[in-house]
Amino acid sequence: MRRGDRVAFYVTRGAFGNPVRDRSRLVAVGTLVSDPDEAPVRILDDDLPFSVAFRIDHQVKTDLRTTAPEVAPIAGNLSFVKRPEVWGQYFRNTPFEISEDDFNALASLLK
């Protein structure tokens, strides 16, 4: 990832083994306005070799509890989702690059 890349942020409440209960929601789309900054980080008792931090210009942002749309209704239409019946697994390998059409489909959920 680098400055100028467009990003979509989602959160998940996965339901392992029961994809119809997965409630992943899109919470923001925007553009990176800084390059990632990698630095060591300590989380609980683990020293991790790096974390990635960056600044984003939020073009659209929602409230997770009230207005964040679910991804499930369009997941089967996204080109990177090869098996719609288990669509949630495709969102668990983040970050990952998606096509412009897929990004626009996700962003349209927030309009």
Q: 17-69, pLDDT tens digit by residue?
A: 555 565 778 888 888 887 777 777 777 888 777 666 666 666 666 666 667 88
Q: What is the phi/psi pair of residue 100, to 5°?
A: -60, -40
CA-to-CA distance for 4 and 81, rounded, in angstroms? 25
Q: What is the phi/psi pair of residue 48, to 5°?
A: -100, 145
CA-to-CA distance for 93 and 42, rounded, in angstroms? 22
CA dist 100 → 14, 82, 83 (Å): 25, 17, 20
Q: 56-102, pLDDT tens digit by residue?
A: 666 666 666 667 888 888 999 999 999 988 888 888 776 889 999 99
Output the CA angle 68-96-84, nearest 5 degrees.
65
Sole residue written with tokens 């989602």? 10
